[in-house]
Amino acid sequence: MKNLNGKVLTTGMLAGLTAAVLVLAANAQPSFSSVLYAASALPVLIVGLGWGNVAAIAAIATAGFLGAIAVSPLFALAMAISTLLPAGWISHLASLARPASEIGGPDDLIAWYPLSDILLHLCALVALAVVFLGMMIGYGPELVARMFETIITAASAQDPNFALATADRAQVEGIMLVMLPVVQGGMWVVMLTGAYYIATRIVAASGLSKRPREDMPSALRMSRNSLFVFLGGILMAFVSGPIGLVGATVCGTYGAGFLMAGFASLHARTRGRDWRVPALVLVYLSVLFALPVFLILILGLADTRRTVALTPDREPGAGET
């Protein structure tokens, strides 16, 4: 952890101000809200990776304070749970290291916290955040029914002849009830992972990063422990009521982790091939369909591992995992 000094605190507070402005902008611009919310994690990640835990804590506290003043304490809590705290925690994990000899490596190297474990923590944090926020807004069949009624009203305004049978409506509402937490959790994991990747690039370019720049196609995998959590989420999703919704959320977040691992594995497997670029373009275009996404998810499930980044032990006293 960096020494507690005015420069570190000021840097963290400026990052918190930036994060708060991005979240408030997301509130004001619903069409770009997801992108702006995800971007609000960037300042916290950058100061956490570059200046340490004190700067990240200062950023989170400042953003929360400004959110509470500008909107409400409940808004600040939701902002912290969904974006700021996960960003601060994964920046902390990414800064952890210990002597490589402790895990059977060379004596003159240090081992950094595995990226697969960072992704595991991120999936868990996002799942908890989605569940917590769902409890805050009273997510359930009644809320989904009101949301669906709004959609039906908008569709009827566009086409007066639009009608939906009662049985079909009940079926669609049931699908929405389960799919919304799946999609929300999955998208949030993908966007926060993207924010982490961008933050690592920025910090590395500034010369402040101690953690080595990792090759994402080779390093971005889920650990074997994630398989059991994902399986547990699938089993829970078959239970009706709140337990099923929690299971759906776990499926969405951990499924997104395995999906990204599948894409990373695909990038690694196609290296050096002449047909790599057109093949990857076709794969990314095909994600609009269910079957290709399922196959990439299977690839991520089949390729689980923990890759550890190693660097020369130039600075003893690095944090321990």
3-state secondary structure of 272: coil
What pLDDT sits at residue 314? 59
Of 144-158, 287-301, 305-319, the least confident = 305-319
Residue 195: which pLDDT band, with cuts at 50, 70 and 90? very high
Residue 317: which pLDDT band, with cuts at 50, 70 and 90? very low
DSSP secondary structure code for residue 81 in this structure? I
Residue 321 clears pLDDT 60, i.e. is over it: no
Residue 29 clears pLDDT 80, i.e. is over it: no
For residues 107 and 196, the model is more confident at: 196
At residue 313, φ and ψ (nearest 5 deg) are -85, 80
HEC string of 164-206?
Answer: CCHHHHHHHHHHHHHHHHHHHHHHHHHHHHHHHHHHHHHHHHH
What pLDDT sits at residue 166? 62
For residues 132 and 214, the model is more confident at: 132
For residues 89-111, average pLDDT: 88
Of 41-55, 165-179, 275-289, the least confident = 165-179
Share of residues in the chain with pLDDT > 90 (%):
60
Residue 232: which pLDDT band, with cuts at 50, 70 and 90? very high
Angle between helices 166-206 and 141-158 (to 10 degrees): 100
Instruction: Write the CB contacts of 104 (distance below 8 Å, at least 6 apart in sequence).
Output: none
Residue-averaged pLDDT of the chain? 88
Closest-CA residue to 37 (of 94, 93, 80, 89): 80
User: For residue 114, what are its two tokens?
Assistant: 């595995």
DSSP secondary structure code for residue 212 in this structure? P
pTM for this model (two decimals)? 0.89
Contact 217, 280 (CB under 8 A): no
Distance, CA of 212 to CA of 31 (rounded, Å): 36
For residues 155-175, average pLDDT: 75
Residue 110 clears pLDDT 60, i.e. is over it: yes
pLDDT digits (tens, 9 = 90+) for 133-159: 999 989 988 998 888 888 888 777 777
What pLDDT sits at residue 165? 65
For residues 114-138, average pLDDT: 94
Residue 78 clears pLDDT 50, i.e. is over it: yes
At residue 222, φ and ψ (nearest 5 deg) are -100, 150
What pLDDT sits at residue 174? 87
Residue 318 clears pLDDT 80, i.e. is over it: no
HEC string of 274-305?
Answer: CCHHHHHHHHHHHHHCHHHHHHHHHHHHHCCC
User: For residue 108, what are its two tokens?
Assistant: 């003159």
Burial of 273 (0-12, 13-18, 19+ CB in 10 A): exposed
The CA–CA distances, whole Å, from 5 to 55, 56, 206, 210, 226 equal 10, 13, 20, 20, 39
pLDDT digits (tens, 9 = 90+) for 53-72: 999 999 999 999 999 999 99
